[in-house]
Amino acid sequence: MSLPFWQTKTLSEMSNPEWESLCDGCARCCMHKLEDEDTGEVHYTSIVCRYLDQDKCQCTDYSQRNVNVPECVLLTPERVDEFAWLPNTCAYRLIAEGKDLYDWHPLVSGDKASVQAAGIAVTGKVVDERSVHPDSHQEYIIRWVEQ
């Protein structure tokens, strides 16, 4: 039996469909982040982009996301060295760090609902950016529960 592609290929060796399939659909990357200017530490908030469908954990305009939101971070194999800000559950970060996917990842479980069942998805845990005053983002800083 052969090993799955994410265990045999680097991120840069993956085809576009393989790359895209690594996304577990948690939508944590759609959360607003604040960077501490002194330490460089990145803090996640429970505020999400206006284009996120919170029930499906999908961008409502994925193909135009960088046009609609110029600061939206485009994850590419060429930027793998920048992935440390991603949550420790993110497949892109895990593979970049030489780790395997969690059992709840859809590529492992065979079920997209496993992300929700594991409590990883943002559904029901976040607020739309349009309902938050820009000066109050620090009030929404969250801490990840380690996996």
Quote the Cα angle for 56-61-65, to 5°. Answer: 115
pLDDT (tens place) for every residue of the chain, 147 residues total: 799 999 999 999 999 999 999 999 999 999 999 988 899 888 999 999 999 999 999 999 988 988 989 888 888 888 888 878 898 899 999 999 999 999 999 999 999 999 999 999 999 999 999 999 989 999 999 987 655
CA distance linking residue 46 with residue 33, whole number of Å: 9
Tokens of 7: 């265990």
The tens digit of pLDDT for each residue in 82-113 reads 878 898 899 999 999 999 999 999 999 999 99
Task: Supply the pLDDT for residue 145.
Answer: 67
pTM above 0.95, yes or no: no
Q: What string of DSSP letters covers the chain?
A: -PPPHHHHS-GGGS-HHHHHHT--S--GGGEEEEE-TTT--EEEEEEE-TTEETTTTEETTGGGHHHH-TTS----GGGGGGGGGS-TT-HHHHHHTT-PPPTTSHHHHS-THHHHHTT-S-TTS-EEGGGS-GGGGGGGB--PPP-
